[in-house]
Amino acid sequence: MDSSTVFSITTFVYGFACILYVVFWIFKSSVSGKIATSALISGSLLNIAGIGMRWSESYKLGFGHAPLSNLFESLTFFSLTIALLYLFIEFKYKKKVLGVFASPMVFLSIAYASLGVNSKIAPLMPALKSNWLIAHVFTCFLGYAAFAIACGISMMYLIKISDTLNKISIVKQLPDIKILDDLTYKMIVFGFFFLTLGIITGAVWANSAWGRYWGWDPKETWSLITWFIYATLLHARLMKGWAGKQIAYLSIFGFTAVLFTYFGVNYLSGLHSYSK
Domain span at residue 133? 128-276
Contact 254, 153 (CB under 8 A): no
Average pLDDT, the chain: 91
The answer to whether position 52 is within a domain reads yes
Question: Quick one: 101 and 18 in the same domain?
Answer: yes
Residues across the chain: 276
Question: Quick one: 108 and 157 in the same domain?
Answer: no
Number of domains in the chain: 2
Question: Quick one: 109 and 150 in the same domain?
Answer: no
Return the closest-CA partner of residue 44 out of 106, 114, 119.
106
- In this prediction, residues 156-178 reach a mean pLDDT of 90
CA atoms within 13 A on the CB side of 65: 20
The answer to whether position 122 is within a domain reads no
pLDDT for residue 1 is more than 80: yes
CA distances to 41, 198, 230 from 45, in Å: 6, 25, 31
Question: Quick one: 184 and 110 in the same domain?
Answer: no
pLDDT in tens, 187-232: 999 999 999 999 999 999 888 877 788 888 888 899 999 999 999 9
Whether this model's pTM surpasses 0.75 = yes
